[in-house]
Each structure stands twice: as structure tokens, then as C-alpha cells.
């Protein structure tokens, strides 16, 4: 099996794929600001569900990929753009555009000949992300799982200002006070958030078919319908849309091990190891980098944040000598 871990600000996704790259097991864990704990919880759960499985390679991605790599012993450590692209192309080689919306960020990736050639991410606005939708569902008093279906029931979606998360929320409240029904407000909110995405994240990008919609928000049928309405074309939600980053990490790890011949994966027992994260300022040059050091089992297992590689390369070399 091949292990993939995607550590984000909201969730940590863990998957196991077999030799045919089919998903055998997948887990969604809330990160809650403790990525090490989330990764260890995922490892513990996977080992319990898939007793006796042998991990031939392990990969890490997401905003917390460096921490995850130090904890599990990753063979591949790649950014989310690369991981999502690899997983999407593996699922369907004809994909040309990836719309990805997660808990705190959103991105667009353009694919040509199976390779990511351009991308963009949200910068100053969080409207349309999973956490924003969760908050609005809570404000409306409905479960987030019902949000999409309620949006599809809208007869005349209300026009809501969507250029900013703050304005979208205040405008939605205003529409409530004016007496509009909830379905039309929810439908209008989905359309507003799609406009926000297309005018900010995807501005200037050519959205060519086939279009994949990935990330946790892709489970929202209202958002998918709003994208299809605005784009005038079909938007496909892949089977494992919420795990594409982790799947991509697993595939990249498999490819890396094919070249090296061995894996750095530390085993599921690392779920019981006590890891400590600390930071320090390196005074080796005028850059004065803030370096993060991960310690576990009485030794440094990873360092990152240094521009020159002084500390990260040293930690990697020590891990190799110890048989990690």
C-alpha cells in the first residue's frame, strides 16, 4: 500500500491506496491547530483498520506537509498544487481545469498534457471556503450537510454581494431581515461565492473543459450547480474529491520510491512517539531565519524554515543514518 497525508489548517486527510492506486482506506481528521496529533491519530486509525498492511511509500502535502513528513518519514513532500494535479490526472487524463476549495483556501489549477502549467490561490478573501460556509449554515440554523440541497430548492436565488466575506455575510443578514425565504438566500449565497471565486481566484484564467471540482466544498451540490450555471459547462466532482491532495501525495511517494528503491516510512509505531516542536532564530547569516525543529525519540527528526538548508539538510542526513 501507499500512504498519503494532507495536513491542512482545518482538516488532516489520510489515505491508503493499493498498487492499482485505488483508495482502500481514507480518514478525515480535524487538525484543530495540532497537526502532529492529527497525523498520529490518522496513523493509529489506519493501522487499526488495516491490520498487517505494509506501507511501501509515504507522501505528505498541505500547509503542514513539513511537519507531517518529519513525523511519518515521507518519501515525497510536495505542495498542494502538485498533489491535486497528480491525483486529478490519474483519475481522468482529460482534465484541464481544477477548481479546489478547502476549509480555509481556494485555488485554480490549469492542466495541459497532464501537467500543471498555471495556478492561482485566494489571497485576501476567504468567502466561499469551507469555514465560511460552515459559519453561514450555523447562522441560518441548518446542518452544513443540508446546505447544498436547500440551495438547489431555490426558486429565485437572491442577489447577494459576494466580493468580500464580510459584505456577503452582512448582505445575507439584510436579506433575512427583509423576509426572503431561506432556500432563495442559500441559493443566492452559493452564486455569490462562485462569482467571488471567478472574479478573484480565477481572474484572467481560461477555464477549459474538462473541469474537476475538488476539496471538501465540492460535496456542496449548490456550489457545484452555481459553478455550472456561471460557467455554462459541466463540472465534475470526482469520487474522492475530499481526499485528492492525500491521494496525490501517495502517488508521488510511490514514484519517488521507484527511483530510490527504499522507503523512509517510519512505521505505524510512530503514532505512539512523543514529538515536540520548537523554533529558534538562526544567527548564521543576516537572513536570521526562524527555523522550526521537530524532536522525537530523543533526536531531531526534522527541521524546516531555513533558506539555505543548513538545518533541514542536517536533520535529513541524520534521519537517513538512523535508518528512518
Q: Are 233 and 194 in contact (CB under 8 A)?
A: no
Backbone angles phi, psi at 157, to 5 degrees: -55, 135
The neighbour count for residue 214, using CB atoms within 10 Å, is 27
Residue whose C-alpha is closest to residue 316's, from 299, 296, 306, 301: 301
Decide which of 3.30.70.890, 1.10.10.10, 1.10.20.10, 3.30.420.40 is the CATH code for 1-91+240-271.
3.30.420.40
DSSP 87: H
pLDDT tens by residue, the chain, 324 residues:
999 999 998 899 999 999 999 999 999 999 988 999 999 999 999 988 888 889 999 999 998 999 999 999 999 999 999 999 999 999 999 999 999 998 778 899 999 999 999 999 886 666 667 778 888 888 888 888 888 888 998 888 889 876 666 777 788 888 888 888 889 988 988 898 898 889 888 989 999 999 999 998 899 999 999 999 999 999 999 999 999 999 999 999 999 999 999 999 999 998 999 998 888 999 889 989 998 888 887 777 888 888 888 888 776 665 554 444
Q: Are 192 and 175 in contact (CB under 8 A)?
A: no
Q: Where are the domains of the chain?
A: 1-91+240-271, 93-237, 274-324
CATH code at 93-237: 3.30.420.40
Is the bond preceding 210 in cis, omega lying within 30 degrees of 0? Answer: yes
Q: Are 258 and 2 in contact (CB under 8 A)?
A: no
User: Is 93-237 the same fold as 1-91+240-271?
Assistant: yes
Amino acid at each position: 500500500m501507499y500512504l498519503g497525508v494532507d495536513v491542512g489548517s482545518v482538516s488532516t486527510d489520510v489515505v491508503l491506496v493499493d498498487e492499482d492506486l485505488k483508495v482502500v482506506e481514507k480518514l478525515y481528521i480535524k487538525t484543530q491547530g495540532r497537526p502532529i496529533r492529527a497525523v498520529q491519530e490518522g496513523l493509529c486509525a489506519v493501522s487499526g483498520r488495516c491490520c498487517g498492511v505494509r506501507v511501501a511509500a509515504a507522501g505528505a502535502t498541505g500547509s503542514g506537509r513539513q511537519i507531517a513528513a518529519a513525523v511519518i518519514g515521507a518519501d515525497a513532500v510536495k505542495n498542494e498544487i502538485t498533489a491535486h494535479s497528480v491525483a486529478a490526472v490519474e483519475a481522468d487524463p482529460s482534465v484541464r481545469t481544477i477548481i479546489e476549495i478547502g476549509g480555509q483556501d481556494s485555488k485554480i489549477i490549469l492542466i495541459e498534457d497532464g501537467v500543471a502549467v498555471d495556478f492561482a490561490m485566494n489571497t485576501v478573501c476567504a468567502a466561499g471556503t469551507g469555514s465560511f460556509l460552515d459559519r453561514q449554515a450555523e447562522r441560518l440554523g441548518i446542518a452544513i450537510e443540508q446546505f447544498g440541497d436547500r440551495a438547489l430548492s431555490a426558486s429565485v436565488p437572491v442577489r447577494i454581494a459576494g466580493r468580500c466575506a464580510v459584505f456577503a455575510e452582512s448582505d445575507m443578514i439584510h436579506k433575512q431581515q427583509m423576509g426572503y425565504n431561506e432556500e432563495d438566500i442559500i441559493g443566492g449565497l452559493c452564486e455569490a461565492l462562485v462569482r467571488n471565486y471567478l472574479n478573484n481566484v480565477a481572474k484572467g484564467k481560461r477555464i477549459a473543459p474538462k473541469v474537476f471540482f475538488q476539496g471538501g466544498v465540492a460535496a456542496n451540490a449548490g456550489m457545484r450547480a452555481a459553478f455550472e450555471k456561471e460557467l455554462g459547462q459541466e463540472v465534475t466532482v470526482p469520487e474522492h474529491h475530499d481526499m485528492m491532495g492525500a491521494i496525490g501525495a501517495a502517488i508521488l511517494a510511490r514514484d519517488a520510491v521507484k527511483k530510490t528503491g527504499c522507503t523512509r516510512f517510519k512505521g505505524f509505531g510512530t503514532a505512539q512517539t512523543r514529538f515536540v516542536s520548537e523554533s529558534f532564530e538562526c544567527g548564521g547569516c543576516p537572513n536570521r531565519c526562524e527555523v522550526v525543529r521537530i524532536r522525537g525519540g530523543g533526536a531531531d527528526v526534522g527541521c524546516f524554515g531555513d533558506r539555505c538548508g543548513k538545518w533541514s539538510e542536517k536533520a535529513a542526513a541524520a534521519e537517513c543514518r538512523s535508518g528512518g
